[in-house]
Structure 1
Amino acid sequence: MKRTFAISEIDSVAQELIEQFETKTIAFKAGMGVGKTTLIKALVKALGSEDVVTSPTFSIVNEYHLSSGKIFHFDFYRIKNEEEALNFGIEDYFQSNHWIFMEWYENIPNLLPENYDQVTINLDKNEFRTLKLNNNLTTTQKNAMEQQNF
């Protein structure tokens, strides 16, 4: 799935994404300020949570509640090494059957689960965003894609 959208369309984009996801572990790739957290807010809402969504930059992980489970929203921007993620139990989160949304997942490349969906967001010149969804990536596929530039 590839889609260009204005920020005013974020709620409908979130609903489209949910219908396209093949896993419950989603890795978001975008530069600073491009809209990762804004999209995650819309996804949390579309999944049915009424929780207030904030960036977990300082807390590393925020938890949101659904009627049938949870969403764990990670921001690995401040993670200096993978040992930090292991120390707070990242593997336990990955083994749960809950939704996992990861910002700055590139900081824990060796800890990522074997399969996950990847959402890449680029900001265009006219303030439009181009989103690309790559479904059910394996770590090997993801590494090969890193060699390409979107």
Structure 2
Amino acid sequence: MEFKLNKIEDWQKVVDEILPQLQHNIFLLKGNLGAGKTTFTQFLLKKLGSNDEVSSPTYAIVNEYHSPKGKIFHFDLYRMKNIDEVYDIGMEEYLDNAFLCIIEWPEIYEEELADFPHHEMKIENLGDERVIIFK
């Protein structure tokens, strides 16, 4: 699926169309700084019924949210220097115990996820417009 966004409210349409397609509990978010990864996550969690305040997990590495369907973990692996650091935070346990794991900057861990069914969203920031590709 591909989307083009011109304003922040357009994220709602993206979430509305993607949510019925979610079949896996791992969701990779790719995009440059400021592309809208956390903004998308805010819209998604609201649609999932979470009342938690969603913020970027840049410094915490992982934020935990609650929804009627279960726990949602939101990761930011941007500052991880190697795969051992990802294992050190207990990534496998999070993946096993979550309704949904949203992983920003997943590249360092992507090879390990090759055998796990997951979704991926790429967000390209083109200035006034964002192009989103979901698979």
Q: Structure 1 residues 85, 129: CA separation in 2 closer, same or farther (over 3 Å shift)?
A: same
Letter in 2 for 1:119: M
Alignment check: 8 A CA contact 2:124 2:131 kept: yes
Mapped to 1, the partners of 2:54 and 2:65 lie a distance apart of: 8
Equivalent position of 1:116 in the other structure = 118
Equivalent position of 1:138 in the other structure = none
Aligned residues: 133
Deviation, structure 1 residue 41: 0.8
Q: Residue 85 in 1 paired to residue 86 in 2? A: yes
Equivalent position of 2:2 in the other structure = 2
Equivalent position of 2:58 in the other structure = 57
Give CA-to-partner distance per residue, 1:10-42, whole Å, 9 cap, x none.
122212111122212100110111111111111
Equivalent position of 1:36 in the other structure = 37
Mapped to 2, the partners of 1:74 and 1:95 lie a distance apart of: 15
Mapped to 2, the partners of 1:83 and 1:18 lie a distance apart of: 32
Deviation, structure 1 residue 124: 2.3
Mapped to 2, the partners of 1:31 and 1:48 lie a distance apart of: 28
Alignment check: 8 A CA contact 1:71 1:99 kept: yes
Equivalent position of 2:107 in the other structure = 106
Name the SS for the 1:111 alignment partner.
helix
Mapped to 1, the partners of 2:58 and 2:98 lie a distance apart of: 23
Letter in 1 for 2:2: K
Alignment check: 8 A CA contact 1:91 1:111 kept: no
Mapped to 2, the partners of 1:123 and 1:83 lie a distance apart of: 31
Alignment check: 8 A CA contact 1:56 1:74 kept: yes
Structure 2 unmatched runs, 5+: none
Letter in 2 for 1:103: E
Mapped to 1, the partners of 2:106 and 2:133 lie a distance apart of: 16
Q: What are the within-5 Å matches in structure 2 for residues 108-147 of structure 1?
A: 108-112=109-113, 114-125=116-127, 127-134=128-135
Deviation, structure 1 residue 97: 4.2
Mapped to 1, the partners of 2:89 and 2:126 lie a distance apart of: 36
Structure 1 unmatched runs, 5+: 135-150
